[in-house]
Structure 1
Amino acid sequence: MEIITSRGVQIPVDPAVIQPKVAKKLRKEFYETPEAVGLPRFVTQKDRVLEIGAGIGFISTYLAAHIAPQSITCVEANPVLADYIRRVHELNGVTAEVHNAVLLPDNADMPRSGTVPFHVTEPFWSSSFENPKDLPSTLVDAPVRRLSAMIRECDPTVIICDIEGGEASLFEEVDFGNVRHIYVEVHRRYIGANGVRKMFHDLHRHDFAYSPRASESTQVLFMRISEEQSDW
Structure 2
Amino acid sequence: MPEFRLNGVRLSLPQGLATPAILGKLADGTYEADEARAADRCVREGFRVLELGAGVGYVTALCAQRTDPANVLAVEANPDLLPVIEANLARNGLSGVSLVHGAATGPVEEGATARFVVSEGFTGSSLDGKGRAVEVPLVSVHDLIRAHKPHVVLMDVEGAEADMFGRPWKCPLRFCVMEIHPKKYPPRTIKRIVDFMSAMDMTYDPVTSRGKILGFRKVWGAADAPEGEGEGAD
- Shorter-chain TM-score: which interval? 0.7 to 0.9
Question: More strand by proportion, 1 or 2?
Answer: 1
Contact 1:105–1:174 at 8 Å: present in 2 too? no
Q: 1:13/1:145 Cα in 2 relative to 1: closer, same or farther (>3 Å)?
A: closer
Find the aligned partners of 1:176 and 1:125 in 2 and give their Cα distance: 30
1:195-214 counterparts in 2 under 5 A? Answer: 195-214=189-208
Q: Report the counterpart of residue 29 of structure 2 in structure 1.
A: 29
Q: Which residue of 2 aligns with 1:100?
A: 101
Give the TM-score normalised by structure 2: 0.86
Which residue of the partner structure matches residue 137 of structure 2? 143
Q: Are the equivalent residues in 2 in contact too, given 1:13–1:23 (CA < 8 A)?
A: no
TM-score (norm 1): 0.87
Is residue 52–residue 74 contact of structure 1 (8 Å, CA) maintained in 2?
Answer: yes
Alpha carbons of 1:120 and 1:174: their partners in 2 closer, same or farther (altered >3 Å)? farther
CA shift at 1:60, angstroms?
Answer: 0.9
Structure 1 residue identity aligned to 2:173: V
Question: One-letter code of the match for 1:73?
Answer: L
Structure 1 stretches of at least 4 aligned residues deviating more than 6 Å after TM superposition: none
Q: Which position in structure 2 is the counterpart of 1:7? A: 7
Over 3 Å counting, the alpha-carbon distance change for 1:42 and 1:175 in structure 2 is closer
How far did 1:152 drift?
Answer: 2.3
How big is the shift at 1:42?
Answer: 2.6
Contact 1:5 1:11 in 2 (8 A): yes
1:35-184 counterparts in 2 under 5 A? 35-65=35-65, 67-69=66-68, 71-94=71-94, 95-106=96-107, 109-110=108-109, 114-132=112-130, 137-184=131-178
| Aligned residue identity for 1:158 | V
- Once the two structures are TM-superposed, the CA of residue 118 in structure 1 deviates from its matched residue by 1.1
* Maintained 8 Å contact 2:105/2:161: no
Structure 1 residues without counterparts, runs of 5 or longer? none
Shift of 1:113: 5.1
Unmatched runs of 5 consecutive residues or more in structure 2: 223-229
Moved more, 49-58 or 185-194: 185-194
Letter in 2 for 1:27: A
Overall identity of the aligned pairs, in %: 26
Structure 1 Cα separation of the partners of residues 31 and 8 of structure 2: 12
* Contact in 2 for aligned 1:182/1:221 (Cα 8 Å): yes
Deviations 1:93-140 (A, max 9, x none): 11201101122323xx53x752111111112111111133xxxx2111
Aligned residues: 223
* Root mean square deviation, CA, Å: 2.1
How far is the alpha carbon of 1:217 from its aligned partner?
1.9
> 2:195 aligns to what SS in structure 1?
helix
| Cα deviations by residue, 1:180-223 (Å, 9 ceiling, x for unpaired) | 21111112222242332222123223332212232222212112
Once residues 174 and 80 of structure 1 are traced to their aligned partners in structure 2, the CA distance between those partners, rounded to angstroms, is: 32
